[in-house]
């Protein structure tokens, strides 16, 4: 394929962030004296709704919270508090990037292939991860970031990918998306972008039908990824050369 841009999801793809999101939600609930606690099993299911504000609203519906109850109007404020906790965990160094992320991004930049981000998470969370975990050359190279409320409809809607592709001034078929979840995959492929999946611990039971390739991670020289399905078998790590061989 002709490859002009790599577009990365954030949560679950660049790093295993969801456990920190879960903790931040729970910490925020305690501030509101709510006896809610999202355990890992419940959170895995709640991830079916992308976006933190949307996830809180959907939970209120699920527990039968009244449509005119006071908390409904407080969701933006609750979510801002949660974002503060989450960004604080990230900047304190709680995360590591997944294998191969920095290596592949650097390889792309060296080959004049654009790198960009398309995520449902809040821009403050993206900035915290970039500032804390990314080398400055890549932060500077990541010029296009589609995040959070920049679009009307979050994943699985194609909006955020469409926005990023438009800003990159490339065709969707000249890009590859990197995702970890079913909703992310649906978002990218409905924008017309072939998608490689590296499942996260919170998304490893998702249906990845429609992905061009599924691998345990992007791999590193000496630390090979495990091939799961689709194209890309027989490589040690995901490289630009391997991606260009994809038949789309």
Positions marked active-site:
9, 11
What six digits make up the tokens of 189?
């492929």
**Which range, of 8-16, 109-117, 129-137, 138-146, touches ligand XBP by CB under 6 A?**
8-16
Burial of 79-102, coded b for 16+ CB within 10 Å and e otherwise, reads bebbbebbbebbeeebbebbbbbb
**Which range, of 3-11, 167-175, 217-225, 227-235, touches ligand XBP by CB under 6 A?**
3-11
| 231 touches ligand XBP by CB under 6 A | no
Nearer to Mg ion, 133 or 181 (CB): 181
* Interface pattern 123-142 for ligand XBP (x via CB under 6 A): --x-----------------
Contact set for Mg ion, span 13-52 (CB under 5 A): none
Rounded to whole angstroms, how far apart are CA atoms 11 and 27? 19
- Minimal distance, residue 97 CB to Mg ion, in Å: 14
> Residue 99 touches which of ligand XBP, Mg ion, none (CB < 5 to 8 A by kind)?
none
Classify strands 213-215 and 227-230 as parallel, antiparallel or unpaired: antiparallel
What six digits make up the tokens of 14?
């660049």
Contact set for ligand XBP, span 76-95 (CB under 6 A): 83
Q: Quote helix, strand, coil % in the chain, to nearest 5.
A: 45, 15, 40
Which of 6, 8, 9, 78 is in the footprint of Mg ion by CB under 5 A? 9
């Amino acid at each position: 394929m002709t490859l002009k841009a790599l577009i990365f999801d954030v949560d679950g793809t660049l790093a295993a962030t969801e456990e920190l999101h879960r903790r931040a939600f729970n910490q925020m609930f305690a501030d509101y004296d709510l006896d809610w606690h999202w355990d890992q099993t419940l959170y895995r299911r709640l991830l079916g709704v992308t976006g933190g504000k949307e996830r809180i609203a959907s939970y209120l519906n699920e527990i039968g919270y009244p449509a005119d109850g006071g908390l409904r109007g407080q969701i933006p404020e609750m979510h801002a508090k949660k974002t503060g906790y989450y960004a604080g965990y990230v900047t304190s160094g709680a995360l590591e990037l997944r294998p191969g992320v920095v290596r592949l991004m650097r390889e792309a930049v060296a080959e004049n292939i654009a790198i960009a981000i398309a995520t449902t998470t809040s821009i403050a969370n993206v900035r915290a991860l970039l500032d804390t975990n990314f080398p400055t050359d890549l932060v500077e190279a990541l010029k296009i970031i589609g995040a959070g409320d920049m679009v009307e409809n979050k994943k699985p809607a194609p909006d955020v990918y469409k926005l990023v592709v438009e800003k990159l001034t490339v065709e969707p078929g000249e890009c590859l998306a990197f995702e970890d979840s079913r909703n992310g995959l649906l978002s990218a492929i409905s924008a017309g972008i072939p998608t490689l999946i590296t499942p996260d611990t919170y998304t490893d039971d998702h249906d990845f039908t429609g992905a061009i390739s599924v691998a345990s991670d992007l791999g590193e020289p000496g630390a090979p990824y495990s091939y799961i399905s689709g194209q890309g078998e027989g490589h040690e790590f995901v490289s630009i050369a391997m991606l260009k061989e994809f038949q789309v």
